[in-house]
Structure 1
């Protein structure tokens, strides 16, 4: 039985991942959310915890004795949230972390799309980069993901790029990112210490199609 803690469980990618794991008898879910009312459907294998990751006492209690922590967080203080998660995992001796970040934090997006992406969200990416640096320095067994611009397409279709490789494509579905997360949860040695760009193949362009 794998004991999984989902931080930011009300997020859209997280909801896809939880749905994919809802019938898995080998997974015990703890769903940690600031606004549990967003969790409209709670699987039978899940427990809900209301809390904020910056509340260390609450976070320590939720992380204690978990096998994997999957964090789907955002905000201007994402780096502070990441540091709180790291500190709590270290204190509770939990090693495996999956953390969703954003594309462009390493200036890895090439061409006109990279220019557009940086002009559009460049300032917002700074706490994501600081969070990534903190995670890589933590010595946790992490996998970090940098999705392309997200869509709600009902599809699983994606490819991966490594940390220091040019990013590909412009978009990817939330369901695709969730599929990758679930694969890592079910096979925790997969993409260990991986820092992965995630995109839908064949979507290169100057900007996302919906912008």
Structure 2
């Protein structure tokens, strides 16, 4: 049995990942979010729904006692949340973290798409997500950072990955693909430890995502 703590559980990717994780009967989930009423109907014998603030070390420690893996799909005060997650995991003796970030935090997106991505995301977004990722990378956790391309709602699982230090590929990827990668890492937590993975749909190179 694997106990997965899902932080930011009401997010679109997190909901898709929850469904995929529950397809494995060995997985038990704790869904952590600011307003537990939003997911009240999700509670079951394998799902616990907990209200809390991901920037609060105390709130996080309160739900980490039984967790084996932390999957964080957070937004908002992302740097403060990263610091709280690391501190709470350290205090709880937890090691395995799957952390959703974004493309461009290492200035790894090449060409015109990279310039466009900066135009869209500079001014506070890339900077704070980059700082949050550095907090994770500077920790002693067994982390995997996931850097998705621009996200679509396509009902498909089609992705490839690049490593930190490699040029980012493609312009887009489906949320369902990111959820599938999360489920894959939960199924075999020994994969991709201390790696930062760029994730894109193959053959989607261009100056911007197709819908822009």
Instruction: Report the 3-state secondary structure (helix = DSSP H, G, I; strand = E; otherwise coil) of the residue aligned with 1:176.
Output: helix
1:1-211 aligned within 5 A: 1-39=1-39, 41-42=41-42, 44=44, 45-75=46-76, 77-123=77-123, 124-211=125-212
CA distance in 2, matches of 1:80, 1:204: 33
Q: Quote how far apart the aligned CAs of 1:37 are.
A: 3.2
Q: Deviations over 1:33-56 (max 9, x none)?
A: 112233275163100001111222
Q: Where do 5+ consecutive residues of structure 1 fail to align?
A: none
- CA RMSD, aligned part only? 1.1
Structure 1 residue ranges (4+ consecutive) displaced by more than 3 angstroms after TM superposition: none
Instruction: Report the 3-state secondary structure (helix = DSSP H, G, I; strand = E; otherwise coil) of the residue aligned with 1:17.
Output: helix
Instruction: Report the 3-state secondary structure (helix = DSSP H, G, I; strand = E; otherwise coil) of the residue aligned with 2:157.
Output: coil
Instruction: Report the 3-state secondary structure (helix = DSSP H, G, I; strand = E; otherwise coil) of the residue aligned with 2:42.
Output: coil
Aligned residues between the structures: 210
Q: Where do 5+ consecutive residues of structure 2 fail to align?
A: none
**TM-score, length-normalised on structure 2?**
0.96
**TM-score, length-normalised on structure 1?**
0.96
Q: Is the 8 A contact 1:65 1:94 kept in 2?
A: no
CA distance in 2, matches of 1:106, 1:38: 34
Q: Deviations over 1:100-119 (max 9, x none)?
A: 00000011000000000001
CA distance in 1, matches of 2:156, 2:189: 24
Q: Report which stretch shifted further, 194-203 or 56-65.
A: 56-65
Q: Deviations over 1:108-134 (max 9, x none)?
A: 000000000001112211110001111
CA distance in 1, matches of 2:23, 2:204: 32
Q: Is the 8 A contact 2:153 2:174 kept in 1?
A: yes
Structure 1's 73 and 88: CA in aligned 2 closer, same or farther, altered over 3 A?
same
CA distance in 1, matches of 2:103, 2:40: 29
Q: Is the 8 A contact 2:170 2:202 kept in 1?
A: yes
